[in-house]
Structure 1
Amino acid sequence: MKPDDPLLRILACPLDKGPLTLLEGGGALYNPRLRRRYPIVDGIPQLLPASGDPVADEEHQQLLVRSEPTGRTGRTGRTGP
């Protein structure tokens, strides 16, 4: 999956229904609010609640740096200005 994929505009977290962030490299979608990562397998996002992996605090900070905007809301999950 690429950052300009139109599908990213409509994808939402299955738990909080909020926007997801595409991680650098396109291998996963990330919800920074719930700190859950959803894999993308063969180009298909795995968005079942059970598919989301919880992320520890240290990894959360690393994922925020690696995230790319989804184009849906302009939010990237990054903190600060």
Structure 2
Amino acid sequence: MSTRAERLDPVVRDRLVCPQDLGELINAGDELYNPRLQVAYGIDELGIPNMLIDDARAVSDDEHRALMTKNGQ
């Protein structure tokens, strides 16, 4: 089964960047992840990413390492 991040329309996904630093985001299950700032942006059940800075979730160092390993980085 694919994740919400994987189900995003490729055209939309290619244009999504972090609203804080305008950098690339990594697919992280039901979220899009910015490894530079260690924040994750949720994707709701309808497949709509929440790119509001105030709603971003802080990611711990341990979770960051796990996400980077999973994404081969």
- State the TM-score, normalizing by the size of structure 2: 0.79
Structure with higher strand content: 1
Name the structure 2 match of 1:10. 15
| Correspondence for 1:60 among 60, 64, 73 | 64
Unmatched tracts of structure 1, length 5 or more: 68-75
Q: How does 1:14-25 map to 2 (within 5 A)?
A: 14-23=19-28, 25=29
Structure with higher helix content: 2
**Aligned equivalents of 1:61, 1:9: Cα separation in 2:** 24
**Aligned equivalents of 1:57, 1:15: Cα separation in 2:** 19
Q: What is the aligned residue count?
A: 67
- State the TM-score, normalizing by the size of structure 1: 0.72
Unmatched tracts of structure 2, length 5 or more: none
Task: Between the two structures, name the one with larger relative contact order (CA 8 Å, sep ≥ 6).
Answer: 1
Aligned-pair Cα RMSD in Å? 1.8
Q: Aligned-pair distance for 1:66?
A: 3.0
Name the structure 1 match of 2:35. 32
Percent identical: 37
